[in-house]
Structure 1
Amino acid sequence: MIFRSARIFGLGGIAMALIATSMPLAAQDGEEARIRKLESEVRALQRKVFPGGDGRYFEPQITAPTTGGATASPAPSTTAVTDILARLDALESQLQRLTSEYEEGANSMRLLETRLETLETARAPAPEPVRTNPSAGAVSTPAPVSRPDPARLAAVQAIAKPQTDDAGDDEYSYGFRLWDAGFFPEAQQQLTMFVEKYPNHSRTSYGRNLLGRAYLDDGKPTEAAPWFLRNYQADKNGARAGDSLLYLAKAMIALKDTERACIALSEFGATYPALATGRLQGDYAAARSKVTCS
C-alpha cells in the first residue's frame, strides 16, 4: 500500500509540474500535509527495517541548506511545486530501498526456519539403553514401543561389573564386557559415560577406541568415525591411537568413502609401521584389500 501511495503521489507531482506556479496556496498546503503523512510512513517503515530507534539509521527530512545557523533562501528558479516533486522522488526511493531490505530479511528468516524444521524432522534419535540396576551396573535396552526382551535383560544383568579400588578402570572394564558379549547399545552407553567422566584416565585411549568399535560393530559407521578420529588426534602416542586410525579407515570403507579410507590407511602405514607389520598386520591387509588406492 505504501508503494502504491508513493507512486500515486509521484504521478500527481508530474501533473503538478505542468500547472507550475499557478497552483493555489490552499492546494499546496494540502499536498504539504500529504507529504508529511508519507514521510511519517517512511519513518515507520525505517523503524521496522532497523529496530531500535537509533538516529543513525534515519535519514533527515529534505530541508534547505543552512549557512551560519540561518536558513538559506531558495534559488530563484526553485518553486513550491519543484520542491514537492523533489521530496516525493526522495520518499519514493526510500520506500523502494526500505521495502526491498525488509522483504529480503523476511525471506531469509523464512528460509532459515524451513531449514531448521527440515533438520528437526530428519533427526531420528537412537533408542537409549535404560539402567535398571545402578548398584550392579546392569543395563537393559528397551524396544521402541514394547517392553524389553526378558531374555536379553537377563543376559545383560548376568554380566558383572568389576568392583575394585579403581572406579575408572571398573567402568571401562564393564563396557568392555558388554561389548565383548555383543550388547553393543549397552556398551555404547557405558563407554560414553566412562570417557566423559574420566577424560584423563589411563584407559581413556582404550575407551574411545572401543566406543568407536561398539558403534562400528553395531552397523553405525557414521557414529563410529568421529570417535576413532578423536582418539587418534587427542594423543597420537596413546595406547590405542594406531588402532583408531586403522578402524577409521574401516569406517570410511563402510561408508564407501574410498578417498578418506586411503588417506587413513596411508597415514597408518607411515605412522605406525610396527603395528602394520605386527599386531594389526592382518586387519591392515584386510582393509587394504577392500579399496584401490592410487
Structure 2
Amino acid sequence: MMKQVTFMGAAAIAIAAAVPAQAQDNNVTKRVDRLEKEMRAVQRQVFPGGAPAFFEGEIAPDNTPGQRSTGSTPVADLTARVDALESQLQTLTGQTEQNAFQLRELEKQFAAYKVEMEKRFAPAAGTEATVTPASLPVVPTVKPATPTPASTVAAAPAKKPATTPAASTKPDAARLALVKKIEIPSSGNETKDAYDYGYRLWEAKLYPEAQAQLKTVVSKWPNSSQASFAQNLLGRAYLDEGKPSLAAVAFYNNYKDRPSGARAPHSLMYMGVALDKLGRKADACKAFRELEEVYGDKAPQDVRTDAAAAKAKAGC
C-alpha cells in the first residue's frame, strides 16, 4: 500500500512538472509564429509585389481610418499627373500674364513719348491748311561766302562773318524752286493725288515738305486706304532726315491705329529700326518679335527680308 501511494505521488509530481513545460513550449511557439508573420509583413513592405509563395498574407492590412497606404495605386498616379499638369498650367499662365504686362508697359511708354513729342513739335492751333507748293515749309540753306582773293586777305585782317536773325528764317529761294519743280498729281482722286504728291516730295529728299504733306493726308482722310501709306511714309521721312525719335512715334501710331492697314507690317519693322538707332536694342527686338508673332508669313516678303537683316544688325 505504501508503495502504491509513493508511485502515485511521483506520477503526480511528474505531471505537475510537465504541465508548465508544455505551456511554456506552446507560448514560445506562438511567439515564434507571430514573429514570422510580422517579418513577412515587413518583407511585403520592403519588397512589394513579391512572390505569394514566400510572402503569404497571414496578417491582414491595417485599414484604420485616418491612415493612408504608402503603396502606389492608379488613383495616386493619376492624382500626381494632374498635379503636375496644374503646376505647368500655372507656370504658363504666369508667363502669359508677364508678357501681357510688359506689352502694356511698352504701349504706355510709347503713349507718353508720343504726348511729349507732340507737345514739343506740334504746330500752333489753327495753322494747318491744305498744303501747296507755296505753303509748304521751306528749309533755309546757308549760302557759302564769296571767296576773297588771296591778295585782299593778306592786306586786310580777317573778319568774322556777319549774321542776321532774318537770314536764318528767310526761306531759301533755291529750295522753294526745288519744291515748285515737283509736279502735283491731278488724276481726279483727291486722296491718292495728295499722297502721291507727298511721295514725290519724299523721293526728292524734300523731307520737311513731304512730312507736312503726309500729315495733311492722314488728318484729312484718316480712314482711307491711303492713310496707312501716308503715316508709314511720314515715319520714313523722319527716319531719312535723321530723326529716329519722331520716326518711332509715327511708325507706332500707324501700327496701333491701323493694324490691318497695308503698311502696318512695314511700320512695325521700321519701328524696330528706329528704336535700334536710338540705342534701345531690347525694345527693337520686341518690335521684330511682335512682327513675327502678329503677321508671320502674312507679312510681305520684302518686309520679312528687311526685318531679318535689321534683327541681325541689332543683335536680336
The partner residue of 1:266 within 277, 284, 289 is 289
Secondary structure in 1 aligned to 2:301? Answer: coil
For the residues of structure 1 that align with 2:123 and 2:177, how far apart are their CA atoms? 19
Partner of 2:138: 141
Do 1:208 and 1:231's aligned partners in 2 also have CA atoms closer than 8 Å? yes
Do 1:249 and 1:261's aligned partners in 2 also have CA atoms closer than 8 Å? yes
1:146 Cα deviation (Å)? Answer: 4.5
Change (3 A) 1:163 1:204: same
Partner of 1:247: 270
1:190 pairs with 2:213: yes
1:168 pairs with 2:191: yes
User: Runs of 4 or more off by more than 4 Å in structure 1?
Assistant: 123-128, 133-138
For the residues of structure 2 that align with 1:277 and 1:170, how far apart are their CA atoms? 25
Do 2:239 and 2:247's aligned partners in 1 also have CA atoms closer than 8 Å? yes
The partner residue of 2:246 within 197, 200, 223 is 223
For the residues of structure 2 that align with 1:180 and 1:243, how far apart are their CA atoms? 18
Q: CA RMSD in A?
A: 3.0
Aligned length: 170
1:125 Cα deviation (Å)? Answer: 5.2
For the residues of structure 2 that align with 1:277 and 1:203, how far apart are their CA atoms? 18
Give me the TM-score of the superposition, normalised by structure 2.
0.48
Partner of 2:179: 156
For the residues of structure 1 that align with 2:131 and 2:255, how far apart are their CA atoms? 32
For the residues of structure 2 that align with 1:212 and 1:183, how far apart are their CA atoms? 14
For the residues of structure 2 that align with 1:134 and 1:253, how far apart are their CA atoms? 32
1:139 Cα deviation (Å)? Answer: 3.0
Change (3 A) 1:134 1:202: closer
| Unaligned stretches of 5+ residues in structure 2 | 1-115, 141-166
Secondary structure in 2 aligned to 1:290? Answer: helix
Pair member with larger Rg: 2
Cα deviation, 1:224-264, whole Å, max 9, x if unaligned, reads: 11111111112322100000000010110011001110100
Give me the TM-score of the superposition, normalised by structure 1.
0.52
Partner of 1:210: 233
Do 2:265 and 2:299's aligned partners in 1 also have CA atoms closer than 8 Å? no
| Unaligned stretches of 5+ residues in structure 1 | 1-119
1:159 Cα deviation (Å)? Answer: 0.2
Moved more, 232-241 or 258-267: 232-241
Do 1:137 and 1:160's aligned partners in 2 also have CA atoms closer than 8 Å? no
Do 1:225 and 1:252's aligned partners in 2 also have CA atoms closer than 8 Å? yes
